[in-house]
């Protein structure tokens, strides 16, 4: 029990205040668990970009192909949807890199997605 010498002790006051702030309102720092550390890895980013492009294209091709089969318009809707799918993929990628907004979370999409890898 090594008590610090009595008298005005600014460090005690500071520590007390810090402890109160900490337990009072947990203003969580936005940097959670190194997620941002990984975010800067170019390879991970490359995977994300490729994934977005491929996913959008897959969806577009699937829709276009099935619509073609349903309506018997082969291959026109498929061609249209390939173009749309490419645009959607680019849009996804653009949102991935779009700079953050106010609270870093505007329109959910792009800005926040930078949080993950």
Partner 1 sequence: MAAGPSIDALGQFRLATSLGPIGAAVNFTNANLMMVLTAALVLALFGYGMRARAIIPGRTQAAAEMGYEFVARLCQDIIGDGWKPFFPFVFTLFFFILFGNLVGLFPYFFAFTSHIAVTAALAVIVFGLSIIVGLVKHKLHFFTYFMPAGAPKLLAPVLVPIEILTFLSRPVSLSIRLFANIVAGHVLWEVFAGFMLIVAAALGVIGIAAGVIPLAINVVLVGFELLVAGLQAYVFAVLTCLYLHDAVHLH
Partner 2 sequence: MIPFLRRLASWSLAAWLALAPAMALAQEESGGMPQFQFSNELTTSQVVWMVLIFLVLYLLLARWALPQVSSVLEERARRIAADLDAAKAAKAEADAAVAELTAATRNARAEAQAEIAAASRSAREAAAGQTAALNERLEAELREAETRIDAARAAAMGALREVANETARAMIERLTGHTPAPETLAAALDHALSTAKG
Binding residue (CB under 8 A) for partner 2 from 5, 10, 24, 108: 24
User: Does position 20 bind partner 2 by CB under 8 A?
Assistant: yes
Residue 18 touches which member of partner 2, partner 1, none, C-beta under 5-8 Å by kind: none
CA-to-CA distance for 47 and 56, rounded, in angstroms?
A: 14
- d(Cα 55, Cα 77) in Å, to the nearest integer? 18
* Residue 12 binds to partner 2 (criterion: CB under 8 A): yes
C-beta of 6 vs 108, nearer to partner 2: 6
Cβ 39 vs Cβ 22: under 8 Å: no
List contacts with partner 2 (CB under 8 A). Answer: 7-8, 12-13, 16, 19-20, 23-24, 37, 41-44
């Amino acid at each position: 029990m090594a008590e610090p010498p009595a008298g005005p002790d600014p460090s005690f006051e500071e520590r007390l205040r810090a402890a109160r702030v900490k337990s009072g309102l947990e203003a969580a720092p936005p940097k959670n668990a190194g997620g941002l550390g990984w975010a800067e890895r170019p390879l991970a980013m490359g995977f994300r970009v490729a994934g977005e492009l491929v996913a959008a294209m897959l969806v577009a091709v699937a829709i276009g192909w099935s619509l073609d089969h349903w309506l018997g318009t082969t291959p026109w809707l498929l061609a249209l949807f390939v173009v749309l799918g490419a645009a959607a993929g680019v849009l996804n990628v653009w949102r991935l890199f779009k700079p953050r907004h106010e609270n870093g979370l505007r329109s959910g999409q792009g800005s926040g997605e930078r949080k993950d890898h």
